[in-house]
A and B are shown apart, each in its own frame.
Chain A
Amino acid sequence: DIQMTQSPSSLSASVGDRVTITCRASQSISSYLNWYQQKPGKAPKLLIYAASSLQSGVPSRFSGSGSGTDFTLTISSLQPEDFATYYCQQSYSTPGGFTFGPGTKVDIK
């Protein structure tokens, strides 16, 4: 199975900061990588699919990049509503399943 890791596991940032979260796959997954945002007590929300495609309705301050094994999610200017946990998910491995990374919690500095 493909394993996903994320770094950092948590970070503290201020409104207006540029934030970068990294996701790494245990083997190449091409661009089969999604990013989700989850706030406490709420369902996840799709932000980015296919590594770099912005989901409809998601603010343009969110962007994704990468291919193969290394990926990043960037928030260009952190807003108060962006404090949440972010998960990457690979959608490459059908037999093994669409595994999630462990998550990165972004909180207020």
Chain B
Amino acid sequence: QVQLVQSGAEVKKPGASVKVSCKASGYTFTSYGISWVRQAPGQGLEWMGWISAYNGNTNYAQKLQGRVTMTTDTSTSTAYMELRSLRSDDTAVYYCARLRLGGYDSSDYWGQGTLVTVSS
């Protein structure tokens, strides 16, 4: 069965960086993309970007350009999302999801979420 298992909760200080991992299993990793979505406490969903696990192509949300990097390690079927220069408003639950690319793109399987808290 398809599973996405994310790394554990993180607490970071403002200005620091965080790297969240997302290990996929149960499907051919390079046949899909991985999207990243975050949700601040009590707020809605915010799309952060996606990466193709096939060729590494990325597409980031404009507001995060320059602070976010998404990568994959096909040898371990793991995706990573690194966010730099953290601010308090980056406090959120971060989700990875399998992304069906190449047509009507949609995220059909999701990780359990990783809480990132940014606090001095």
Contacts and interface: CB of A to CB of B under 8 A. Distances in A.
Nearest to B63: A97
B62 A100 contact: no
Interface hub of B44, B97, B104, B108 (most chain A Cβ within 10 A): B104
Contacts of B59: 94-95, 97
Contacts, number: 67
B11 interface: no
A44 interface: yes
Interface size class of B (residues with CB under 8 A): 20 to 34
A63 interface: no
Interface in A77-102: 87, 89, 91, 94-102
Interface string B54-88: 00000111100000000000000000000000000
A36 B97 CA distance: 12
Contacts of B61: 97
Nearest to A101: B44
Contacts of A103: 44-45
Q: Which of B45, B47, B103 has the most CB of A within 10 A?
A: B45
Contacts of A49: 100, 104, 106, 108
B108 A46 contact: yes
A43 B110 contact: yes
A96 B60 CA distance: 8
A89 B100 CA distance: 14
B81 to A, nearest CB: 15
Interface string B32-58: 000101000000111101100000000
Contacts of B44: 87, 100-103
Given A32-B105, A34-B107, 9 more contacts: A38-B45, A43-B110, A44-B45, A46-B107, A49-B104, A95-B59, A96-B62, A97-B47, A98-B50
Interface of B: 35, 37, 44-47, 49-50, 59-62, 95, 97, 100, 103-108, 110-113
Interface of A: 1, 31-32, 34, 36, 38, 43-46, 49-50, 53, 55, 87, 89, 91, 94-103
